[in-house]
Amino acid sequence: MGISVRRIGTEKPRGDEDASDGTNIYKVVDNGREFTVTYRSHSHGGNLGLAGEQGILYTDADTVRRQVITVGQICGISIESDEAVEGLSPWAIRGVIMAERSGETREITITAGPRENGSDLPVILVDGEATDLQEHLWLKPR
């Protein structure tokens, strides 16, 4: 596993540079494949997407999926498509979430490897310095 995540830009809504809504843009390289992942924040939370593509990203146990939802003719919603994003791993998405939650703008690197405490979690580096992913993703009880 070799993943790097770096924020490469931020976009605010036109006409309101002070708005809390906005989109952070991340360059993600996952085992040699490059993706541009967006995190759009708004008053009700946020969502992840792929730049230039419709839909939101979500993960299941070992797959990243992109789902496009549309409003139907009878005012209900329907799932237009739900497909796997080939080459993008759930750990890459966790790296983007970590960067977003921590406000990190430096490069985050995620690599496989044995840890001193025997954990099966990968090693997380921020600009070459080890960090604890669990603190940022709330993987352990608070």
Cβ neighbors of 141 (< 8 A, separation 6 or more) are none
Q: What pLDDT does 140 receive?
A: 47
pTM of the model: 0.82
Q: What pLDDT does 44 receive?
A: 84
Question: 96 lies in which domain range?
Answer: 2-48+88-137
Task: Give a yes or no: residue 124 inside a domain.
Answer: yes
From the first residue on, what is the mean pLDDT of each consecutive set of 10 residues in the chain (142 residues)?
Answer: 92 68 94 96 90 96 94 84 96 92 89 66 82 60 45
Task: Give a yes or no: residue 142 inside a domain.
Answer: no
Count the Cβ atoms, other than its own, within 10 Å of residue 138. Answer: 9
Cβ neighbors of 36 (< 8 A, separation 6 or more) are 8, 25, 26, 27, 28, 50, 51, 52
Q: What pLDDT does 7 receive?
A: 95
The number of folded domains in the chain is 1
How far, in Å, CA of 31 to CA of 105, rounded? Answer: 21
Task: Give a yes or no: residue 130 inside a domain.
Answer: yes
| Paired sense of beta strands 33-42 and 77-84, if any | unpaired
Q: What pLDDT does 121 receive?
A: 74
Task: Give a yes or no: residue 36 inside a domain.
Answer: yes
Task: Give a yes or no: residue 104 inside a domain.
Answer: yes
